[in-house]
Structure 1
């Protein structure tokens, strides 16, 4: 929780700095809550949390810094499980503007695509060790504008871990699968609902990002 608060404070500081330097640009803070679906062994955890800062360079492209947290526990054995945290830097594309969604479905609906690289940590509950992981993330974010400064968001993201050592139950893969303690490719899926708050200039139907 302390790390989350520290990250949120940093993002707020960045937003204030951006407003001072680029008052006419679009930037926002976003947060969401939902579920994570792990790879092997598969389990669903309704404890996914994410927070991020996004800066749109123009009407089509932007960048995003975000943090995500998930808690996985095996239903038949709660002593098995893992705590997963990720930090990522992503590019963002305004698909809504590219596909002209506003013309077809109304100006209060938009769609963003995002993807990038990150660092993740997976802590084993039973072993106590922490796995340091490189990851790739891609996702889609539908947006529903409530006002000029506030939007409800849905997000669906897929994360690929390409240097994972623990399974999501907190145990190493069996040596019989020819993986042993070597790194392997893991994956998980997250789905969340949240809010995005925009800072900067007054936004109209024509320039909402």
Structure 2
């Protein structure tokens, strides 16, 4: 008996130290997202193991636990201070009697109240994921009990005694809040004078009584969370911070992409569709110092092959027409806007110069829109953008018969979920005829 007391005392001490350490850890590592309260109710069979007077037995001595008789009823409430450790208070009623034909008749009423520490073994051993709907609780603590014989010379004589109790409870979750369990508990008394058969020993002779119970029951968890507290999925705050950091790194990697391969990351690139190989400034804009709408490097190349007068006077020069007709000359618009952006009016200036130096040339002004919004609206938006460019050219002196507005509607050539890609298709292009 002394060894048992020492063992349980050591367990309680270990539980207290572990609880304190675990509680400190949880303050920094785990989200407080689990239901802490639960009600429990069990019924089953209890059996007084010892002591008995001569001729009395709690059950058939030749059987391990005797006949199956419901004589144990208990209920309690549990509060989990952390996902692993908690405390519960429970009240139990037992009616012990002879279950063997070889025993003399007796009947003992036993009522006890207990305070116990609870350990969620599935979490303690980190096997919750492997167990799935199963779980395992360990519990142990102190108890106060009243014993009252229901027959014999000591009938209705009460005795209060105290002791310790220890047990374990396998669980199986049925619904989000309801779980079934099987409980195995051993009660040990350090101040007992009644035998379980009702005989009373000398007041100076403390008996070492033992009572075992086995029962089935249920627990109901309640709180703000959507699942029983014993099975709540707990996330490590440190892991969440790591995942958030990984997400941010991923976003930075995406932003550091360089669609037009000009050496300027997309998130800094004002002109993300610059021509490959053409020098750009720190904002990704093709360098055009004379502001004539033709990047300086391309202009130098054209000048080395054609004179400026030849390029602007002779409309049959395919290089210039190809430059315009393949979309290298364009003007861009912000989302849902019909006025060209300040940084992209050079394209209009280039077309204006071309038309002035080629008085017989005409041009289609082609409006485009991205895929955000409904098709009819985007068709109208594209036409309005083209008309906006046409008005600028008209006010610059180009006659209306040389300008033809075309609405190309939605441009589906880019990923509509990419904000950077959508900027490339909100534009007006030109086709020289």
Q: CA deviation at 1:100?
A: 2.5
Distance 2:70 2:90 in 1: 19
Corresponding residue of 2:215: 192
Corresponding residue of 2:96: 72
Is the counterpart of residue 148 in structure 1 residue 173 in structure 2?
Answer: no
1:34-183 superposed matches below 5 A: 34-40=44-50, 41=52, 42-44=57-59, 46-75=70-99, 76-78=103-105, 80-106=106-132, 108-125=133-150, 126=152, 127-128=154-155, 129-173=157-201, 180-181=202-203, 182-183=205-206
Q: CA deviation at 1:23?
A: 9.8
Corresponding residue of 1:5: none
Say if 1:148 and 1:202, in contact at 8 Å, map to a contact too. no
User: Relative contact order, CA 8 A, sep 6+: which one is greater?
Assistant: 1
Runs of 4+ in structure 1 off by over 3 angstroms are: 22-25, 75-78, 203-208
Q: Answer 1 or 2: which has greater helix percent.
A: 2
Distance 1:92 1:102 in 2: 16
Say if 1:150 and 1:195, in contact at 8 Å, map to a contact too. yes
Q: CA deviation at 1:146?
A: 0.5
Q: Which protein has the larger Cα radius of gyration, Structure 1 or Structure 2? A: 2
Say if 1:23 and 1:200, in contact at 8 Å, map to a contact too. no
Unaligned runs of 5+ in 2: 1-31, 60-68, 235-433
Question: How many correspondences in the alignment?
Answer: 179
Helix, strand or coil: the match of 1:77? coil
More moved, 22-31 vs 118-127: 22-31
Helix, strand or coil: the match of 2:187? strand
Q: CA deviation at 1:59?
A: 0.4
Helix, strand or coil: the match of 1:46? coil
Q: Answer 1 or 2: which has greater strand percent.
A: 1
Distance 2:140 2:215 in 1: 16
Q: CA deviation at 1:84?
A: 0.6
Helix, strand or coil: the match of 2:221? strand
Corresponding residue of 1:28: 38
